[in-house]
């Protein structure tokens, strides 16, 4: 039996400004059309290495300057608080591992953690590359700090993240945010209107 309302897959790196912007909108939009969203933290560093790409701010100076301006402009346009981090880009392995460990126990808690982590970086300018910061964020949500600290170093969670990145690349994911709906791919927070139209019409 085919699912009448299949899930939406949302791939992102916590170090992606546009990933942050879409994260603030995607769940509510999906819910309007009876859909749920599966979140998949990935590591752009690995994907960029495999594809020969680089972060927008580490490409040519003109593109870097434009991107920095557009991050803030897009946030204003979407009505989302945004402060560009003093450290950017930065490693997000600890945050992604924490997400998957939490997701294995409580999906709703994992989602809360993801939002809190994005906002810690893009609103409060906290260094989410630091495991201590990740542990602090999770602890504020009631997560057992010692248990999470151990999980971040566990071979199982490290392998889970590696598998998620590998699967994403096999699906054609090349950046963040990358959304798959009914087999259709949408790249970038600026594709939100197209995503909404797709959900509304059932495809176009």
Task: Write out pLDDT tens, residues 128-177.
Answer: 999 999 999 999 999 999 999 999 999 999 999 999 999 999 999 999 99
- From the CA atom positions of the chain, what is the Rg in Å? 17
Residue pair 89/20 in contact (Cβ under 8 Å)? The answer is: no
| CA 109/CA 143 separation, integer angstroms | 9
pLDDT digit string (tens) for 108-119? 999 999 999 999
Domain 8-201 sits in CATH at 3.40.30.10
**Sequence ranges of the domains in the chain:** 8-201
Task: With H, G, I as helix, E, B as strand and everything else as coil, classify residue 125.
Answer: coil
Residue 5 pLDDT level (bands cut at 50, 70, 90) = confident
Task: With H, G, I as helix, E, B as strand and everything else as coil, classify residue 38.
Answer: strand
Query: How high is the pLDDT of residue 89?
Result: 93
Residue pair 17/90 in contact (Cβ under 8 Å)? The answer is: no
107 CB-near residues (< 8 Å, 6+ apart): none
Residue pair 8/36 in contact (Cβ under 8 Å)? The answer is: yes
Distance of CA 14 to the CA centre of its chain: 5
Walk across the sheet containing 8-12 and list its strands.
37-41, 8-12, 178-181, 184-187
Query: How high is the pLDDT of residue 59?
Result: 84
Cis ω before 79 (30° cut-off from 0): no
């Amino acid at each position: 039996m085919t699912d009448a309302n299949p899930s939406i897959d949302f791939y992102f790196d916590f170090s992606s400004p546009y990933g942050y912007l879409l994260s603030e909108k995607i769940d509510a939009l999906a819910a309007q059309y009876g859909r749920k969203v599966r979140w998949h933290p990935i590591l752009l560093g690995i994907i960029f290495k495999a594809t020969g790409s680089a972060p927008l701010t580490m490409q040519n100076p003109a593109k870097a300057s434009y991107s920095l301006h557009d991050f803030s402009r897009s946030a204003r346009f979407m009505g989302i608080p945004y402060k560009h981090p003093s450290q950017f880009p930065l490693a997000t392995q600890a945050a992604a591992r924490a997400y998957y460990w939490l997701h294995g126990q409580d999906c709703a808690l994992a989602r809360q953690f993801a939002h809190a982590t994005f906002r810690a970086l893009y609103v409060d300018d906290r260094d989410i590359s630091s495991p201590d910061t990740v542990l602090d964020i999770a602890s504020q949500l009631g997560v057992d700090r010692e248990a999470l600290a151990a999980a971040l170093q566990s071979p199982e969670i490290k392998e889970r993240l590696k598998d998620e990145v590998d699967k994403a690349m096999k699906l054609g994911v090349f950046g963040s945010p990358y959304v798959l709906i009914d087999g259709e791919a949408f790249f970038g927070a600026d594709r939100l209107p197209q995503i909404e139209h797709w959900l509304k019409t059932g495809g176009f």
